[in-house]
Amino acid sequence: LAKTTQPISMDSYEGQEVNITCSHNNIATNDYITWYQQFPSQGPRFIIQGYKTKVTNEVASLFIPADRKSSTLSLPRVSLSDTAVYYCLVEHGSSNTGKLIFGQGTTLQVKP
């Protein structure tokens, strides 16, 4: 499974757009990119998943360039409640173990 690299921490202010970039230089053809969010003292929660180009849902957008060696999670107009750890995962499309490999994640601190 591809190793991912993300910034350890980021700060933002309420109302701003936040972009968290994840590097996955060794991503394979069948790999997908998935982001999870974890609030303190809670389990991780699925945010978004994509393979290429752009994916958008009610929570976030995911931008994946053509070479797929990186991806950017975009959170529009963050609020204090978006303070959490964000994990970028690369998952093999044909894997059947269901194992998720979590790195250190990015701790996002949203300030008033």
Contact residues: another protein, CB under 8 A: 32, 34, 41-46, 49, 91-93, 95-100, 102-105
Considering the complex, state which of residue 13 and residue 46 has its C-beta at the smaller distance from another protein: 46
Shortest reach from residue 42's CB to another protein, in Å: 6
Q: How far apart are CA 32 and CA 1, in angstroms?
A: 10
The torsion of the CA quartet 17, 47, 39, 15, rounded to 10 degrees, works out to 20
Considering the complex, state which of residue 66 and residue 99 has its C-beta at the smaller distance from another protein: 99
Tokens of residue 55, six digits = 């994916």
Name the pairing type of β-strands 53-56 and 61-64.
Answer: antiparallel
Considering the complex, state which of residue 80 and residue 101 has its C-beta at the smaller distance from another protein: 101
Shortest reach from residue 62's CB to another protein, in Å: 14
Shortest reach from residue 74's CB to another protein, in Å: 19
Q: Is 47 helix (H, G, I), strand (E, B) or coil?
A: strand
